[in-house]
Amino acid sequence: MPDSPPLTLQPPSAELSAKIANTIRFLAADGVQKANSGHPGLPMGSSEIATVLMTRFLRIDPKDDKWLNRDRFVLSAGHASMLLYSMLYFQGFLTLDDLKNFRQLGSRTPGHPEYGDTPGVEATTGPLGAGFAMAAGMALGERMLAEMYNTPKFDVVDHYVYVLMGDGCHMEGVTNEAASLAGHLKLGRLIAIYDDNEISIEGDTGLAFTENVNQRYEALGWHVQDIDGHDCEAIARAIGNAQAETSRPSLIVAHTTIGKGAPHKQGTHGVHGEPLGADEIAAAKAAMGWPSEDFHVPQEVRDYFDVRRGEWMAIRNEWNDLFAAYEKKHRSTARDLLRVVSGELPKQWKKACPEFAAGKAIATRVSGGEIMNRFGEAIPELVGGSADLAPSTKTEIKTGQYPDYVAPGAFLGRNIHYGVREHAMGWMTDGLALHGGFIPYCATFMVFHDYMRPTVRLAALMRRRAIFVYTHDSIYVGEDGPTHQPIEQLASLRLTPRVQVWRPCDANEAIYAWQSAIERKDGPTCLAMTRQNLMTLDRGKYAPARDALKGMYVLDSEGGKSAEILVIATGSEVHLALAVADALREQGRGVRVVSAPCLEVFKRQADGYRKKVFPKRLKKRLVMEAGVVQGWEGILGESGIFIGMEDFGHSGPASMVAERCGFTVPAILGKISLAGW
């Protein structure tokens, strides 16, 4: 029943806790030794932390690693993956054979935790600090979902997000950005445990890292505790105190010895990232009175976790009873919560899309903002924000369904003020996508994708639905100059597997770019939007905008004469392509114009369709894009002409910059003539 007290987790005795910790310690050492590759030091040093979390705090469901209200545990120090895999073994997600296959091809225990490959892994981690920032996004998602769907007596969303960090995580700048925002927002259910072993690959961390981490996090608005990371009771007290602190995120600084138990290597960088060696493992086991056999799990430890898994199932069943009562009293709300968590979209959501009249000049950042808002009215789980650029990126949702913005301690909102924190913004967007219940987006100028490349890459690696809106997409930024004019960013995005990059040519193509991004469930989408106005094309004269959903399509046919020249363009350059086509037709030439808003979607089309758009007979191909040529070579062929950028842009009015860079009809006609076409 809703008013019944929650089930409590019975801690093991001190003796059994020590035995569990040593089991984790030597499973990690044996796994790395068998693979002859990996990082035994942190897992051996953090085994008491893992023990306390599993035996006293974590609320999970061994039968369902996607249970909505499970606690999340993120290993930000992803190199310590054998720690996580040992935990997942005890939780019931992995087998002992999985641990024995550590780092082997096709195993469920890869070198770093991979979301989707290993059940129970909440995030792909490896780039240090990334897991911490994604955990901050998960903690924000938990609070937002709780405020949207919890009701009096029915806290159906109230889990914690735990993250284990290492020294390297704190050195990476992204953690400071994410910690700053988490402290500002008062994310009280985010609990970070810092394995402070003072060792990095090159030696003692004092070689390069002497700051006072405790004081830094206190200054950022965190609740900070300092403990012995090998004292199970101290760890348990600290986590309990962190749970009781509801208005601040918590950092538990746990002082540990890296490689604890290895008599000759503990406390040294020699145990950080290489196997202990057979002799050192044997000496460690002998010193701690541990059996010499590999992958030994004492029977009393097995028995404990057999019971523990039953407790976890009972916790889930208790939540099921709570949700059943919630569903009975709030049927529509419960149904919608289950829908958003499943990732399914509302029925008839596409009917919300606007239409833009031909002849209206409007930047795609502006039309994109209107489209996002119309879809946002129908899709309450569409949430996000920008890096202090919403007035420029036009990415504020103004549906009036909730307060305008998420605020410190008040999470009922659609918009997030990320501040000037592109790194944290991208990772927290990934965290929101991982948490579930949201279709998250974030926005900045396209040139600042360089700050966010790792976040887009991991969203793709994890196949998460996240939308990255990049405005000010070319040299047409103009007066802001080369620092703000993206040149190589489009190619960089297209180089990343599983990323779809949309660059619409007008407001109506932008509709289908947004539609595709919202519908897509198997990876991230990047939307490249203009700062400058673009004329909305007359779709009575040109092909319908919905053809954009095929990635590329014939926008303007030959004009009454069999085509001899094929002109392909994206975004703002489509309008230049149409002008060039008109000029060529005045010379009596047959021209076909293709709009190419998304190369990745086009590659998925049937071979017959692709050949129809690009017939083999059309060898004279002209591609226009205000970026570098990389990625277009296959379409250009051996004799094609690329109108793009070979160097950075210039500061000045957009039209003058375009002229200097060769984006004019006369300049392009000159290149065609020079090529002998």
Spatial distance between the Cα atoms of 577 and 554, rounded to a whole number of angstroms:
12
> Which phi and psi (to 5°) does residue 252 adopt?
-105, 110
Q: Write out the two tokens for 620.
A: 């004279």
User: Is 646 among the catalytic positions?
Assistant: no
Amino acid at site 393: T
Report the half-sphere exposure of 88 (CA within 13 A, side-chain side). Answer: 26
- In 239-310 the beta strands, taken as DSSP E runs, fall at 250-255
> Which phi and psi (to 5°) does residue 343 adopt?
85, 5
Q: What residues pair up with 203 in beta bridges, in sequence order?
A: 200
> Which phi and psi (to 5°) does residue 254 adopt?
-105, 110
Element holding 87 (H helix, E strand): helix 81-91
Spatial distance between the Cα atoms of 677 and 670, rounded to a whole number of angstroms:
10
Element holding 260 (H helix, E strand): none
Tally of CB atoms within 10 A around 18: 17
Contact 316, 58 (CB under 8 A): no
Q: What residues pair up with 556 in beta bridges, in sequence order?
A: 593
3-state SS assignment for residue 170? helix
Q: Write out the two tokens for 662.
A: 């060769």
21, 105, 306 from 301: Cα distances, Å: 10, 29, 9
Q: Write out the two tokens for 463.
A: 């196949």
Q: Which of 254, 298, 235, 192 is nearest to 53 (CA)?
A: 235
3-state SS assignment for residue 535? strand
Spatial distance between the Cα atoms of 238 and 254, rounded to a whole number of angstroms:
10
Q: Which of 393, 509, 402 is nearest to 144 (CA)?
A: 402
DSSP labels, 430-443: HHHHHHSS-EEEEE
Q: Write out the two tokens for 14.
A: 């001190």
From 122, 177, 381, 422, the catalytic residue:
422
Burial string for 630-644 (b: 16+ CB within 10 Å, else e) reads: ebbeebeeeebbbbb
Widest Cα–Cα separation across the chain:
91
Residue 215 Cα to chain centre, angstroms: 29
Which segments of 361-488 does DSSP mark as H helices, in order?
A: 364-378, 390-393, 422-435, 449-461
DSSP labels, 538-593: -TTTS--GGGGGGSSEEEE--SSS---EEEEE-TTHHHHHHHHHHHHHHTT--EEE
Q: Which of 72, 14, 71, 24 is nearest to 49 (CA)?
A: 24
Kindly tell me the sign of the dihedral angle through the C-alpha atoms of 450, 453, 455, 460.
Answer: positive
Please tell me what DSSP assigns to residue 349.
Answer: G
Spatial distance between the Cα atoms of 581 and 676, rounded to a whole number of angstroms:
17
Tally of CB atoms within 10 A around 465: 20
Spatial strand order in the sheet of 223-228: 72-75, 161-165, 190-196, 250-255, 223-228
Spatial distance between the Cα atoms of 674 and 507, rounded to a whole number of angstroms:
35
Please list the active-site residues.
Answer: 422
